[in-house]
Structure 1
Amino acid sequence: MAAANEDEILEGFLCPICKADLKSASQLTSHFESLHQEEQDVLKSLKDIFGKAKKIILNNDENDLKETFDRALKFNYQEQAYYSQEQVIGVSRSSTDYFKAVRSARLERYATETNKLLIRLDKLVCNMPSEPNLRKQYEQEVVPWLDGSSVKLCPNCAKTFNITRRKHHCRLCGSILCHDCSLFLDLNIARAIVDPSAAISAEVQDQESLEKNGLRLCEHCYNLVELRKQIQDSRNAKTVVMTAYEQMRSLMEQAKPAVAMYEKMCQSLFDGETTYNLSDVNAMRGRIGKLAEGIDLLSKQIAAHPSTPGTREARLHAAIRQAAAHYIKEDLLSLRKLPTEAQIEEVRRQRYERAEKQIQMERQRMEAEEISNETAGASSAAMVDHDDDDPLLEQMNIIRGYIKEARRELRFEEVSGFFFNYNIHCNSLCF
């Protein structure tokens, strides 16, 4: 730090002779050695500048600034030593440690600054009033605004503030800027940044609505927040393997009820029931076959995804493929064999004969209980005369139409329910 006059104070790594700002200690030393060699006494005193400054700073706040100052001083020494080494022709040297030190210092600075902005952003979006005046007061309470009474130019574009170009403040750092240099952050996106579990509204706001309801930010704060959002999106983005695996699991979940339905339909055929026919069961088997093909294809894609042999990723891909192949073989391809048409007809014939015997026995029992043969004969004649108008027959015809439609759509659970009602009507008609 050097004083140019009584009214102005200059800060930086300034040359005590020409007042040039050299940006770093190593550049200041090199500049002085090359251009001001005659001032050797001043050159020696430059080496004590950092030590004296360190003592002053540590006396003010020893606990907070000691670590920061030591790290900065060490970095400057490393930088000076790196550039002062003589490069030998034909000999290579590693710069990894130096570059890591430069990168770590920069990343630490950006990470600290970004975290501070996120804390302020969280406070801003939580409990923000909807009324404009109350909202403005709330924003000033969370982030104090800089006093712009002495600011005549926009710090970003250097244009003069006037009646048409008003002063505005960044809601995250409180700095002053004009409207043209302002960027606006959607409140829904802001809430999603501070709370990744929050759902983002799909509604796209126009520029006028965004300027009215969004957060006004300077370019620097907006870029830091946008970078944080990009990092969140990249972490939450699904990889190709994850997407394929989720699709494969979805097909497996669809296959489970399909296999259970197939077993139920097969058992119905073996029992001689007329709820399902052979074409229905073959259609269900074909559906299961398509699901098996999809699972097999997706598992092959996962296994073929590029990965280093022997790594955990490669073993995981192979395990997924092996598990899918085992599932297809054991659960989807080992389905019960369907009966032939002849077997189905034989079982149904036997079932029909048993049903006929039961109906005949029931009719004989009912006839024995009739009061007289004449009453029984009159009732029978009335039933024959009104067969065409019987509501039971009409209901049975409607149910047949429902059964055909459900079969076309492969909704076999509905077919089973319709057949149950149909059999009830049949029994009612017979008795």
Structure 2
Amino acid sequence: MATANDDEILEGFLCPICKADLKSASQLTSHFESLHSEEQDVLRSLKEIFGKAKKIILNNDDSDLKETFDRALKFSYQEHRWLDEEQVIGVSRSSTDYLKAVRSARLERYATETNKLLIRLDKLVCNMPAEPNQRKQHEQEVVPWLDGSSVKLCPNCAKAFNLTRRKHHCRLCGSILCHDCSTFLDINVARAIVDPSAPRTSQPDHEITEKNGLRLCEHCFNLIELRKQVQESRNAKTVLVTAYEQMRSLMDQARPDVAMYEKMCQSLFDGETTYNLTDVNKMRGRIGKLAEGIDLLSKQIAAFPAEPGTRQARLQTAIRHAAAHYIKEDLISLRKLPTEAQIEEVRQQRYERAEKQIQMERERMERQRQRKEEIAGPSASRVDTRQDDEDSPLLEQMNIIREYIKEARRDMKYEEVAILEANLKELKKEYHLQKLSNKS
């Protein structure tokens, strides 16, 4: 702030010499150093301003900020003294220690500030109320808002506040800004930043508003965004890791398919009608495609650039050998399928055994009927419970189950096929027993 005359008061980042408003502190410093560097009196006045600022900051009892401020003044003094010293031709000096000290101080400053923002962010998103008024009260309890009664201009864009340009507060530092200078951070993204294990679901940038986001100033948003980028870079998967995970996924899919294939083959060899040769050939083709995918991915992993003899190169070679061994032992060497003639022969033998068993059951039922007639006498009335085949509910149920079996075969759901075939077998057995009972 500077006084132009008795009637006008100027506000902003003003040059002490030409009274130009430079909009930001960095532009003001650059302007003064390039155009007014010869003004030593003004330079001393700026140092006094920094001294006053230091006293104000130190009154806040912030030990970390105090140490950072002291180091900054010390390094600034050393830098100017080094520049003012007369340089001797042929003499060189190392500035590595000075560079490391300055860099460490700045990194510590940003790390400390970022950690404080993360702590506040964690408190904000933890148990955040859904009701707007309660949420606003919760935000002010976590981060006190600055009093904006005396602030007439937006500190970022230097535009005056009015009825259309209202005052807002950053939810992390409590500073005042206008809506145009606000940036919104998605609440779901904020939860993922403070808790990396939480699922990350975010809204598109154009849909993030004050209802589903946190209003932040540009400085706080940049620090949080930098933190998010660091997390994403740490959690980012390399091409090698992605290929390995895809290969493992194909292996996990192949194991149950191989087990199902063996079960289907055994069913064919046993003469069962649960599966047919077409079903088993489809399953074999599916396993073959999985084997091709595993082989391709393992070759890509082995061909990934690596220094010969290093641990990574040995690991890639071991992955390739393990994949090739798995394909050879578990996927390629599958059980050989029987021929159609073999299947028909086994099923015929199974059918003959079933017919023989039914005939034996029929004879047993006939003997029981004869014994009952001998006991009851020839004049006993008989009740005919015979039903037409077309009206039998068992036949209707069997037809329904056959339709379900067709659908399951079409979708390659062979576990369901096995269950439905077992149910159909029980119904057939019950139907034959019912026919025998009706004949008797």
Structures share a fold, TM > 0.5?
yes
Q: Distance in 1 between matches of 2:171 and 2:363?
A: 94
Aligned residues: 384
Please give the per-residue CA displacement for 1:166-189, whole angstroms capped at 9, x wherever unaligned.
Answer: 433322222232333222223332
Within 5 Å, give how 1:24-423 maps onto structure 2.
Answer: 69=70, 73=74, 77=78, 99-204=99-204, 210-212=209-211, 214-371=213-370, 386-423=388-425
Q: Percent identity?
A: 68
Distance 1:406-1:23 versus aligned 2 partners, 3 A rule: farther
- Contact 1:187/1:214 (8 A) holds in 2: yes
- Tell me the secondary structure at the aligned position of residue 184 of structure 1: strand
Matched-pair contact (CA < 8 Å) for 1:268–1:276: yes
Contact 1:392 1:429 in 2 (8 A): yes
How far did 1:320 drift? 2.3
Q: Is the 8 A contact 2:71 2:105 kept in 1?
A: no
Which amino acid is the alignment partner of residue 348 of structure 1? Answer: R
Give distance in 2, aligned partners of 1:380 and 1:284. 52
Whole-angstrom CA distance in 2 between matches of 1:23 and 1:80? 19
Which residue does the alignment assign to 2:432? 430
In structure 1, how many angstroms separate the alpha carbons of the residues matched to 2:64 and 2:238? 46
Q: Distance in 1 between matches of 2:255 and 2:98?
A: 59
Shift of 1:258: 1.0
The offset of 1:115, in angstroms, is 0.9
- In structure 1, the partner of 2:43 is 21
CA distance in 1, matches of 2:44, 2:326: 70
Shift of 1:230: 2.0
Conserved in 2, the CA contact under 8 Å of 1:75 and 1:101? no
Relative to structure 1, the CA distance from residue 258 to residue 122 in structure 2 (aligned partners, 3 Å threshold; closer, same or farther) is same
- 1:214-243 Cα offsets, whole Å, 9 max, x none, are 333221111111211222222233332333
Partner letter of residue 286 of structure 1? G
Q: 1:22 to 1:331 in 2, by over 3 A?
A: farther
Determine if contact 2:405/2:417 at 8 Å carries over to the other structure: yes
1:350-385 deviations in Å (ceiling 9; x for gaps): 32333333222222222222235999xx999985x8
Q: What are the ranges of 5 or more consecutive residues in structure 2 without an aligned counterpart?
A: 1-15, 17-28, 48-53, 434-440
Taking the aligned partners of 2:194 and 2:126, their CA distance within structure 1 comes to: 10
Report SS of the residue matched to 1:238: coil
Q: CA deviation at 1:290?
A: 1.2
Indicate how the Cα distance of structure 1 residues 176 and 420 shifts in structure 2: closer, same or farther if over 3 A, else same: closer
CA distance in 1 between counterparts of 2:70 and 2:78 reads: 12
Amino acid in the other structure paired with 2:220 = C
Distance across 2 between alignment mates of 1:95 and 1:361 = 105
Q: CA 1:289–1:130 in structure 2 vs 1: closer, same or farther (change >3 Å)?
A: closer
What is the alpha-carbon distance in structure 2 between the residues aligned to residue 146 and residue 396 of structure 1?
79
1:59-107 CA-to-partner distances (Å, cap 9, x unmatched) read x99999679746864686478659966675xx99987655544433322
Say what the alpha-carbon RMSD is for the aligned residues.
4.2
Q: Residues 191 and 198 of structure 1 are in contact (CA less than 8 Å); yes or no, is this contact kept in structure 2? A: yes
Residues 83 and 346 of structure 1: CA distance in aligned 2, closer, same or farther (over 3 Å)? farther
Distance across 1 between alignment mates of 2:260 and 2:318? 29
Structure 2 CA distance, aligned partners of 1:62 and 1:122?
23
Within 2, Cα distance between the matches of 1:326 and 1:95? 58
Instruction: Give the Cα–Cα distance (whole angstroms) in 2 for the partners of residues 263 and 426 of structure 1.
Output: 27
Which piece of structure 1 moves more, 341-350 or 162-171? Answer: 162-171
**CA–CA distance in structure 2, aligned partners of residues 108 and 87 of structure 1:** 36
How far apart, CA to CA, are the structure 2 residues paired with 1:238 and 1:201?
19
Alpha-carbon contact 2:257-2:287 (below 8 Å) kept: yes
State the distance in 1 between where 2:103 and 2:64 align.
Answer: 25
Report the Cα distance in structure 2 between the residues aligned to 1:23 and 1:316, rounded to whole angstroms.
65
Indicate the residue corresponding to 1:30 in structure 2. Answer: none
The question of whether the paired residues in 1 share the 8 Å contact of 2:68 and 2:105 is answered with no
* Structure 1 residues 425 and 107: alpha-carbon distance in aligned structure 2, compared to 1, 3 A threshold: same
Query: What is the TM-score when the length of structure 1 is the normalising length?
Result: 0.74
Q: Distance in 2 between matches of 1:224 and 1:83?
A: 35
Partner of 2:437: none
Q: Determine helix, strand or coil for the equivalent of 1:21.
A: helix
Deviation at 1:123, TM superposition (A): 2.2
Shift of 1:269: 1.6
Task: Write the distance in 1 (CA, Å) between the matches of 2:252 and 2:415.
Answer: 17
Aligned-partner Cα distance in 1 for 2:304–2:92: 38
Q: Identify if the C-alpha distance between structure 1 residues 23 and 309 changes in structure 2 by more than 3 Å, giving closer, same or farther.
A: farther
The alpha carbon displacement at 1:289 in A equals: 1.0
**Which amino acid counterpart does residue 107 of structure 2 have in structure 1?**
L
